[in-house]
Amino acid sequence: SIPLGFFAGLGRAAREGILIKGGNYLEALNFPEIVVFDKTGTLTKGVYEVTEVKTKNGFSPQKLLEFAALAEGFSNHPVALSLKKAYGKEIEGQKIERFEEIPGYGVKALVNGLELLVGNEKLLKKNNIDFYETENEEGITKVHVAVNGVYAGSIVISDEIREDSALTIKSLKEMGIKNIVMLTGDKPSAAAHISRILGIEEYYPELLPHQKVEKVEQLIKQKTKKGKLIFMGDGTNDAPVLMRSDIGISMGRLGSDAAIEASDVVLMEDKPYNLVKAIKIARITRKIVI
Ligand code: ADP
Ligand code: MG
The more confidently predicted of residues 111 and 287 is: 111
Separation of alpha carbons 62 and 82, rounded Å: 15
State whether 184 and 40 are in the same domain. yes
Mean pLDDT score of the chain: 92
238 CA distance to ligand 2 centroid (A)? 7
Tell me the per-residue pLDDT of 193-224, one tens digit each, with 9 for 90 and over: 999 999 999 999 999 999 999 999 999 999 99
Does 275 contact ligand 1 (Cβ within 6 A)? no
Q: pLDDT-derived band of residue 254, with 50, 70 and 90 as boundaries? A: low
Q: In the listed set 108, 134, 158, which residue is the last one of a domain according to the structure?
A: 158
Separation of alpha carbons 50 and 144, rounded Å: 13
Ligand 1: residue whose CA is nearest its atom 14: 186
Range name among 94-98, 171-175, 246-250 with the lowest pLDDT average: 94-98
State whether 175 and 254 are in the same domain. yes
Q: Are β-strands 202-204 and 179-183 bridged in parallel, bridged antiparallel, or unpaired?
A: parallel
- What's residue 255's pLDDT? 66
Tell me the per-residue pLDDT of 136-170, one tens digit each, with 9 for 90 and over: 677 788 999 999 999 999 999 988 999 999 999 99
- Give the total number of structural domains in the chain: 2
State whether 137 and 247 are in the same domain. no
Inform me whether the pLDDT recorded for 70 exceeds 70: yes
Angle among Cα 139, 145, 151 to the nearest 5 degrees reads: 115
Atom of ligand 1 nearest to the CA of 234: 4
Ligand whose nearest atom lies closest to the CA of 68: 1
Residue-number span of the structural domain to which 138 is assigned: 49-158
The DSSP H or E segment spanning 282 is helix 274-289
Q: In the listed set 122, 142, 158, which residue is the last one of a domain according to the structure?
A: 158
Residue range 93-113: average pLDDT? 92
Does 182 contact ligand 1 (Cβ within 6 A)? no
State whether 167 and 141 are in the same domain. no
Residue range 38-55: average pLDDT? 91
Residues linked to residue 52 through DSSP beta bridges, in sequence order: 156
Does 80 contact ligand 1 (Cβ within 6 A)? yes
- What's residue 147's pLDDT? 98
State whether 199 and 278 are in the same domain. yes
The more confidently predicted of residues 107 and 8 is: 107
**CATH (domain of 133):** 3.40.1110.10
Q: pLDDT-derived band of residue 1, with 50, 70 and 90 as boundaries? A: low
State whether 110 and 219 are in the same domain. no
Does 38 contact ligand 1 (Cβ within 6 A)? yes
| Percent of all residues in the chain with a pLDDT value above 70, rounded to a whole number | 96
- What's residue 91's pLDDT? 74
Top mutation candidate among 102, 116, 120, 145 for ligand 1, by most atoms within 8 Å of CB:
120
Ligand 1: residue whose CA is nearest its atom 24: 106
Residue range 120-127: average pLDDT? 95
232 contacts 37 by C-beta, under 8 angstroms = yes
Q: In the listed set 106, 123, 158, which residue is the last one of a domain according to the structure?
A: 158
State whether 262 and 274 are in the same domain. yes
- What's residue 252's pLDDT? 74
State whether 83 and 222 are in the same domain. no
- What's residue 290's pLDDT? 64
State whether 143 and 166 are in the same domain. no
Ligand 1: residue whose CA is nearest its atom 21: 106
**CATH (domain of 23):** 3.40.50.1000
Backbone angles phi, psi at 165, to 5 degrees: -65, -45
Does 190 contact ligand 1 (Cβ within 6 A)? no
State whether 244 and 226 are in the same domain. yes
Q: pLDDT-derived band of residue 92, with 50, 70 and 90 as boundaries? A: confident
28 CA distance to ligand 1 centroid (A)? 31
State whether 89 and 10 are in the same domain. no
Does 119 contact ligand 1 (Cβ within 6 A)? yes
What is the strand order of the sheet 141-147 is part of? 49-55, 150-158, 141-147, 114-119, 106-111, 96-102
State whether 250 and 166 are in the same domain. yes
Burial of residue 9 (number of CB atoms within 10 Å: 0-12, 13-18, 19+): buried
